[in-house]
């Protein structure tokens, strides 16, 4: 697939790239080569190939959920350095 200078200029504008005419010519050749390579990949028969979801061979070990003990409201507030009635007081994050 051939990429012309107009397409290169449009892509450069969208990507907020700036380059001179010599670089545009080189970029055109490089992008054409990349698209030719991708077109070659489209010719490969992948009908019997399972989709790849991960490159890792590790399996996620699932465990059963168990209900454990939790702190009641008052016990949790006892650990707070500052509190305001029934809430934790924290420093202001947004201005």
d(CA 65, CA 4): 58
**CB–CB of 31/10 below 8 Å?**
no
Residues near 27 by Cβ (< 8 Å), separated by ≥ 6? 8, 12, 19
- Read off the pTM: 0.46
Closest CA to 25 of 10, 11, 8, 12: 8
Domains of the chain with bracketed CATH: 5-42 (1.10.20)
In a structure prediction context, what are the per-residue pLDDT tens digits for the chain, which is 95 residues long? Answer: 788 888 888 988 999 988 888 888 888 889 999 999 999 988 888 888 888 877 787 887 888 989 999 888 888 888 888 888 888 888 888 87
């Amino acid at each position: 697939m051939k990429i012309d200078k107009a397409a290169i200029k449009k892509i450069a504008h969208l990507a907020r790239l700036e380059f001179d005419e010599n670089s545009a010519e080189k970029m055109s050749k490089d992008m054409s080569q990349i698209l030719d390579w991708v077109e070659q990949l489209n010719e490969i028969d992948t009908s019997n190939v399972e989709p790849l979801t991960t490159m890792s061979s590790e399996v996620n070990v699932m465990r059963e959920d168990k209900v454990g003990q939790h702190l009641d409201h008052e016990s949790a507030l006892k650990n707070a350095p500052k509190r305001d009635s029934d809430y934790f007081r924290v420093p202001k994050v947004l201005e």
